[in-house]
Amino acid sequence: MSAQPRTKLGRRAKTELKERRIPAVLYGAGVESRPISVGRSEFIKLYNTAGQSALIDVTVGSEAPVKALIKELQLHPITTYPIHIDFYQVRMDQEIEADIPLVFIGESSAVKNDGGTLIKSMDEVAVRCLPGDLPHEIEVDLSKLVTFEDAITIGSLVVAKGVEFIDDLEQTIATVARPMTEDELKALEEVQVGDVTAVKTEAEEKKEAEAAAEAAEGGAAEGAKDAA
C-alpha cells in the first residue's frame, strides 16, 4: 500500500476525500503516530483481498515499507466509501491480537440427509500470535456435524503452531438443530392463528375507546340529572 505524508489535518482533511484519497493514521507500540493518506481505489482493491486479518506492507513516500494491519475503517454512511483508516504498525518479534474470519466448508450430513437446520453462532474468532504466524482465515469443516448432538467448538478448530485462541475453547461455533415434528408444527400453527385472531386492529381499538367514552359521558349525565 503506497501512502503519502499528510499535512492537511482536521477539517482540511476533507480535501483529501475530494481528491479521491483517504485520510489515515499510521501508529503502533513504540512508534510515533503519523498522519498519512492513501489512494481510494488502491485501498479498496487491497482491502477486498486482505481484509483486516492480513499483514500488509505500507510504504510512506520513499521510505522503507513497514508491516501493518488495518485496525479500524470508517465508512461514509451514505456512499459507504472509506473516509478514514487506522493502520497499526507491528513488530515482527511481538505477539499481536486479531479477529480472524471463519470460512465454512463441507456439508453436514445431519442437514443433507436428516433435514436439520445449520446454526452458525460465530463468524470470526480472536487469536494471539506473532505477526508472521497470523492466519488470514480459519476453516470450519461442517462435515464433522454428523448427528444433532455434534457441535463444532473453538477448541476443535485446526490452526498452525504458535496461534493461540483468546476466547473460551468450549464456545460453540456451529451445530445442527433437529427438524420440527408434525405435532410441533401443528402446535406452532395453532399458536400463530390464535395470536392473529386475538390482535385487534387500530380502528377496532379506537371504536371501543370511543364507545367507552360515550358510555361514561352518558352515565355522568344521568347522574347529574338525578341529582337535580
Residue 30, pLDDT score: 83
Model pTM? 0.71
Q: Which runs of E-coded beta strand occur in the chain?
A: 2-5, 21-28, 31-39, 56-60, 66-75, 82-89, 96-105, 117-120, 124-129, 138-141, 151-153, 164-165, 172-177
Q: How far apart (Å, rounded) are the C-alpha atoms in residues 77 and 1?
A: 25
pLDDT per residue as tens digits for the range 136-151: 999 999 999 999 999 9
Q: How far apart (Å, rounded) are the C-alpha atoms in residues 54 and 200?
A: 55
180: DSSP letter? P
Residue 75, pLDDT score: 93
Query: How far is C-alpha 111 from the geometric centre of its chain's CA atoms?
Result: 25
Helices (H), 74-125: 109-112
Helix (H, G, I), strand (E, B) or coil at 121: coil
Low-confidence residues in the chain, pLDDT < 50: 220-221, 224, 227
Residue 189, pLDDT score: 75
Return the C-alpha cell found at 97: 491480537
pLDDT per residue as tens digits for the range 29-72: 888 899 999 999 999 999 998 888 889 999 999 999 999 999 99
Residue 53, pLDDT score: 87
DSSP run (H or E) holding 204:
helix 202-227
Residue 72, CB-side half-sphere exposure with 13 Å CA sphere = 8
Residue 224, pLDDT score: 45
